[in-house]
Amino acid sequence: MPPVFRWNTYPLIWGKWVFDKGFNNGMTPEAQQTIESLGILFKGPMETPKGKGVKSVNVTARKTWNTYANKRVFKTLHGVETVFSKAGIPIDLTIVRENIEDTYGGIEHMLTHDVALSRRFITRPGSEQVIRYAFEMAQKKGSHRITCGHKANIMKITDGLFLEVFYEVAKEYPDLKADDVIVDDLWMKLVTRPDLFDVVVLTNLQGDIVSDLCAGLVGGLGFAPSANIGDHICIFEAVHGTAPDIMGKNIANPTALLLSGLALLRHVGLMGHAARIKNALLYTLESGARTGDFGDKNKPALNTTEFIKTIIDNLGKTPAHGARPLLEDKPITPTQYKLEKNPLIMSEELMQEKIVGADFFVESEEQPQLVADKILAGLNTKFDLVTISNRGTQVWPKGSVFTNLVNQYRCRIESKGTEPCSQEEILQLYQHMMKVFKVCSIELLNMWGEKKGYSLAQGQ
Amino acid sequence: MKIAIAQGDGIGPEIMTAVLSLFDAAGVPLEYVPVDMGEMGI
């Protein structure tokens, strides 16, 4: 492990390019080992080199260490003017975003030269981890409401699963008012009546978008802290960019990173220290002290060092609004874990699983009836061709000639009477299909008991 | 107690130094271990 410094004595070393050194995940093995042994990472904004074929170090860090919940608190700060502060509408929102799954796996393929496909993972245990965290947190902070944002009306299987788990967990918290809102409606309500909401939990992409929207409600990303919570490792970070245009000028606003740091202090039990610093920050903002990016433009802007110095001078003072009670520090929460193997998270399989067919994604420029004729010629009599869709819309056996086609069809072949079939039989179907088409992809049709594990085509 | 610090890129080092100097001034009982991460690393 590298030496330990008090920060003010730590020498800055510049110019070591982690990616250029060949560490494509953006961290050295020593860094990974240190973080895994300490359990807590406090991080500034990071750049992902563009066009070098590397993935975002921010996303890699969250995913590698399974920080399944991204918690972001958006609260009115007196001294930071927004549309809502001017209207006298107070904001106190906590967004909990699932942090691992969804389209963030980045599992994407070109099926034909025209057609790209992204896979979206939503899992029961993954959803349960983040939803359970949200309920626990909401209960601890005495929330009046917890809301699930989703698009389960369209994504019935994926968001449907997330929503199902939300209401399952809700049963264990009868004192919390739990409800759900479709995400587009949620966004409209958040920009008109943000004070109606308290804790909101969402899947990854929707949560990503809604949390930046909420940052806008309270003055921008410069005032938005972020905590990535996992069972073993937690990351506290500023989510704004690296602002290379003002780098080295000592004029950046450190508030978001400071608020994230205060979440870190509370997380490890340093409640008293966190409250004292928070009060000094609130007092400083109320007094009109500001960096150049916010506040009353008629007042002179402080640079980063002067802004922090002002907060230091205000330690021990109490703000007029939202003063934090000076709780005692708790014993420091241990954060060092040793794992011998990767934890497997899974739920109990309650129903008998069976395969009843497959969706074949095939490349074709032909009309739907011709595609169907080719499949039906010589199809194993155990199976039916049930539907053919193009971009999710059914075009066979019924459809409309007004539906535009791309050069890739999804052909659903099911066993008659949903009789169970073997993978061997699916392989035989594949061999049948590949004689007449290029098969781009295949997805098994599974059932659990009487419940289908696949969605119907639009119009089916 | 020790925590890992990745100061980040761009304005990262400036704002990290600012925040940790405030923590030091407030007597926060944490020690900081720098880690090599991001575009710039340490």
Classify strands A383-390 and A408-415 as parallel, antiparallel or unpaired: antiparallel
Tokens at A318, concatenated: 């109490």
Nearest by CB to residue B6, choosing from A15, A43, A277, is A43
Task: Please say whether the beta carbons of A278 and A324 come within 8 A.
Answer: yes
CA distance B15 to chain A (A): 5
Q: What number of residues does chain A have? A: 460
Looking at the DSSP bridge assignments, the partners of residue A353 are A448
Which position has the token pair 């000639």? A401
| pLDDT, position B30 | 94
Closest-approach residue (CA) in chain B for A49: B39
**Cα A300 from chain centroid (whole Å):** 38
- B34: distance to nearest CA of chain A, Å? 8
Q: For domain A16-313, give the CATH number.
A: 3.40.718.10
Q: Say if CB A363 and CB A437 are below 8 A apart.
A: yes
Tell me which residue in B1, B14, B32 faces A7 most closely, judged by beta carbons. B32
Q: In this complex, do A258 and B22 lie within 8 Å of one another by their Cβ atoms?
A: yes
Q: Which of A188, A186, A213 is nearest to A200 (CA)?
A: A186
What span, in angstroms and rounded, lies between the C-alpha atoms of A76 and A90? Answer: 6
- Residue A197: both structure tokens together: 């909401």
- Overall CATH class of domain A353-452: alpha beta
Q: Which of A384, A373, A95 is nearest to A218 (CA)?
A: A95
pLDDT of residue A12: 45
Residues of A in contact with B10 (CB under 8 A): 45, 47, 241-244, 247
* Nearest Cβ partner for B38 among A2, A26, A261: A26
Cα distance between residue A5 and residue B31, in whole Å:
7
Q: Is the dihedral of CA A35, A40, A42, A46 positive or negative?
A: positive
Edge-first strand listing for the sheet containing A383-390:
A393-396, A383-390, A408-415, A353-363, A438-448, A451-452
The structural domains of chain B, with segments of one domain joined by +, span 2-41
Residue A21: per-residue pLDDT:
63
The Cα–Cα gap between A452 and A280 comes to 57
Whether B12 sits inside 8 A of A270 (CB atoms) is no
Query: What HEC string does chain A produce?
Result: CCCCECHHHCCCCCCCCCCCCCCCCCECHHHHHHHHHHCEEEECCCCCCCCCCCCCHHHHHHHHCCCCEEEEEEECCCCCCCHHHHHCCCCEEEEEEECCCEHHHCCEEECCCCCEEECCECCHHHHHHHHHHHHHHHHHCCCCEEEEEECCCCCCCHHHHHHHHHHHHHCCCCCCEEEEEEHHHHHHHHHHCHHHCCEEEECHHHHHHHHHHHHHHCCCHHHCEEEEECCCCEEEEECCCCCHHHCCCCCCCCHHHHHHHHHHHHHCCCHHHHHHHHHHHHHHHHCCCCCCCCCCCCCCCCCHHHHHHHHHHCCCCCCCCCCCCCCCCCCCCCCCCCCCCCCCCCCCCCCCEEEEEEEEEEECCCCHHHHHHHHHCCCCCCEEEEEEEECCEEEECCCCCCCCCCCEEEEEEEEHHHCCCCHHHHHHHHHHHHCCCEEEEEEEEEEECCEECCCCCECC
How many A×B Cβ pairs under 8 Å? Answer: 203
- In angstroms, the CA A139 to CA A117 distance is 39
- Residue of A4, A12, A18 to mutate, testing the B interface (most B Cβ within 10 Å of its Cβ): A18
Chain B CB contacts of A57 under 8 Å are 37-39
CB A271 within 8 A of CB A277: no
Q: How many CB atoms lie within 10 A of CB A328?
A: 8
State pLDDT tens for residues B1-42.
Answer: 899 999 999 999 999 999 999 999 999 999 999 998 876 554
CATH 3.30.70.1570 boundaries in chain A: 353-452
Of A18, A258, A277, the CB nearest to B37: A18
- pLDDT, position A13: 42
Q: Are A101 and A122 in contact (CB under 8 A)?
A: yes
B13 three-class SS: helix
Locus of tokens 């608020």:
A259
Within 13 Å, how many C-alpha atoms sit on residue A304's CB side?
Answer: 26
The pTM assigned to this predicted structure is 0.90
Within chain A, all domains assigned CATH 3.40.718.10 are found at 16-313
pLDDT in single tens digits along all 460 residues of chain A:
555 555 554 444 433 455 566 666 778 888 899 999 999 999 999 887 666 666 778 888 888 899 999 999 999 999 898 989 899 999 999 999 999 999 988 899 999 999 999 999 999 999 999 999 999 999 999 999 999 999 999 999 999 999 999 999 999 999 999 999 999 999 999 999 999 999 999 999 999 999 999 999 999 888 999 999 999 999 999 888 899 999 999 999 999 999 999 999 999 999 999 999 999 999 999 999 999 998 888 889 999 999 999 999 999 999 998 888 888 888 776 666 778 888 899 999 899 999 999 999 999 999 999 999 999 999 999 999 999 999 999 999 999 999 999 999 999 999 999 999 999 999 999 999 999 999 999 999 999 999 999 998 877 8
Taken as a whole, chain B contains a residue count of 42
Chain B residue with CA closest to A3: the answer is B33
Cβ-defined contact of A28 to B36 (cutoff 8 Å): yes
Spatial separation of the C-alpha atoms in residues A42 and A80, rounded to whole Å: 25
